[in-house]
Structure 1
């Protein structure tokens, strides 16, 4: 069963409830651009996973077949309980290394780039974690945890982490001693020196207490969310490659070949001495911290939000039809989605080329609807063409109404 697919509607219901709680308490923990950026990276991550999850599943299945020391039964409840606990133990070390090693931080940093903290932040996930993340879960295969159990506890672990991304729930007493909670996970998302790189558990906080990485939220030290080198962008594609690009640039500039290689595996933030001296990175002081913001008119915000809903629907369609769609259809759907989210990111940043890119996005729907039936993304239908034409015309009219705002604010 795909737990994530069935959980998606509940995610959005809970986000709506949190927005109502914001309004009732007279606070504002959401910004439209930040929320769309977080949700965009989540949609991109989920659909990328449809194309790449074979990496982790195949390696796990291979290890289970050839390296397993035991043969555990999926019918035994203790197999599930022990697998759930052991998965979180492995997650702890993946998560900790994800903060402590450059190559792993390049993937995981996506989740920390938001300078807000709300339930949409929970859905802000990497699209490149599949590259190395599978290594940390091989011990479960060696211990004989069945593939079905592994996939299920992984989904349950991820689902648990959703609710802790909120500022509305205070400390929870004794619960804080054993489990990840909103309070101790707020610490994890902080860029304050006191809090940085703490509280790595997914479900259980006991690993942090055992291995010296626990930090309690201090009422005298308000959490400042985000990363010390700000993303300063609303583009989900750039969010996924920003730190890789920095590492690549530093590796290319390094004079020593050894530095070109080891930079990828050194502690997070390490740079070759010659590169750091010649190309220093400026990081804003925490006392001068300002959230990244780009002015947007109300019409622009409404237009982008409605267009974004289209890609949420497309992502949900791909997730729901995964088993029936061929690889070529998933690839086409992912490409259309990635391009669309890229363009909306440019619009959120009021880039000078945003209007032209948006027109190109709308025009690209013509070859998309023609290609989709050929690769099996959806069946050929006259209704699809009529719907496309109506959607495109309405979008162009709405874009024309926003055009002057885009041009004025971008200039």
Structure 2
């Protein structure tokens, strides 16, 4: 069972309530482009997960079948409780090393790139965590935790973490000593030096207190959210590639083959000395910190929001059918969603070529529907063709209207 899929309506209900709380308290926790970027990375993560989830599941099941030291029963409540705690311990080390090693940070950085902090940030997830994340949970398989129990406690751990991504809940007294709370997790998302690389637990803060990585939120040190090498983009695809690209270019530029190899496993932020000297990286001055922003007209924002709504519905449908899809079918669905999210990101950044990309994306809709039918991904009837053609035509008319009103003029200039 895909617990995340069933939780989607609750996620958006709570986001709506947080928006109302923002208005009631006079706060501004949300920016449309940032929220769509976060939701887009989450949607991309779930879509690509249809293709990659087997990596973790197969390796875990294989280890459980061949390496388990104990036979634990999924019918025992104690097995479930111990597995829930055990998972969070494994998550702590996965999360901690995700901050402490370059190649692991390249995957996890996606979750930290937002310079806002709200419930949409919770859904900002990586699409490449499957590469190494499975390694950290093999101890559970060796201990004999059945795959069904493992998958369920993993989903519950992830679902728990949703509610802590808010600025509206203050410190919660004695719970701060036991659980990851909004206050504890705000610290984790900070780029202030005093807060960086702290509070790694998913559910329990006890691991951080035990292993020396706990930091309390301080009244005299307001949290500044984001990463020290800003993403400066609203594009979900680039969000997943930025750190990998930086490591790749640093490796190519290094004069030493040893440096080219070891850069991937070195502590986060490590760069070859010769590369750092020739290509220095400036870190933002937090005393003058400004969030990344691109000016958008109201029409542009509404257009982006409506387009994202379509891909959200399509992504939810893809997740609902995930168990029935062949790899080629899932790949087509993921590619279509990825192209759409890339186009929305370019639109939100006012890229000079965003309008041309939108025209190309709309032109590809009907051929994509035909290809989906030929692959038995769906069986398009006359209504499907009419609806998709109508959507593409309405979107095209919307683009023409925005251009006539001059609302896309900003799209002819690079982002600020």
TM-score category (smaller protein):
over 0.9
Shift of 1:326: 2.1
| Matching residue of 2:388 | 388
| Matching residue of 1:208 | 208
- Kept after mapping to 2: 8 A contact 1:325/1:376: no
Provide TM-score, normalisation by structure 2: 0.98
Shift of 1:409: 5.2
Structure 2 distance, partners of 1:239, 1:58, is: 27
- Kept after mapping to 1: 8 A contact 2:350/2:410: no
| Matching residue of 2:25 | 25
| Matching residue of 2:362 | 362
Gaps of 5+ in 2: none
Structure 2 distance, partners of 1:78, 1:97, is: 29
| Matching residue of 1:38 | 38
Question: Which of 406, 409, 413 in structure 2 is aligned with 1:407?
Answer: 409
Deviations 1:332-383 (A, max 9, x none): 1100000010011000000010111000010010111101111122113111
Runs of 4+ residues deviating >6 angstroms: none
Structure 1 distance, partners of 2:331, 2:78, is: 39
Asked if residue 325 in structure 1 is aligned to residue 325 in structure 2, the reply is yes
Structure 2 distance, partners of 1:272, 1:393, is: 52
Deviations 1:209-251 (A, max 9, x none): 0000000000110000000000000000000000000000001
| Matching residue of 1:52 | 52
Aligned CA RMSD, in angstroms, stands at: 0.8
| Matching residue of 1:7 | 7
Structure 2 distance, partners of 1:400, 1:46, is: 33
- Kept after mapping to 1: 8 A contact 2:353/2:411: no
| 1:405 aligned counterpart, secondary structure | coil
Within a 5 Å distance, the mapping from 1:108-127 to structure 2 comes to 108-127=108-127
Structure 2 distance, partners of 1:319, 1:290, is: 37
Within a 5 Å distance, the mapping from 1:336-351 to structure 2 comes to 336-351=336-351
- Kept after mapping to 2: 8 A contact 1:326/1:375: no
Deviations 1:68-125 (A, max 9, x none): 1011000011110000000000000000000000000000000000000000000000
Within a 5 Å distance, the mapping from 1:6-405 to structure 2 comes to 6-403=6-403, 404-405=406-407
Shift of 1:322: 1.1
- Kept after mapping to 2: 8 A contact 1:352/1:407: no
Gaps of 5+ in 1: none
**Number of residue equivalences:** 411
Shift of 1:324: 2.1
| 1:71 aligned counterpart, secondary structure | coil
Give the stretch that moved more between structures: 195-204 or 366-375.
366-375
Give the stretch that moved more between structures: 371-380 or 101-110.
371-380
Structure 2 distance, partners of 1:229, 1:376, is: 44
Structure 1 distance, partners of 2:230, 2:281, is: 11
Shift of 1:65: 1.1
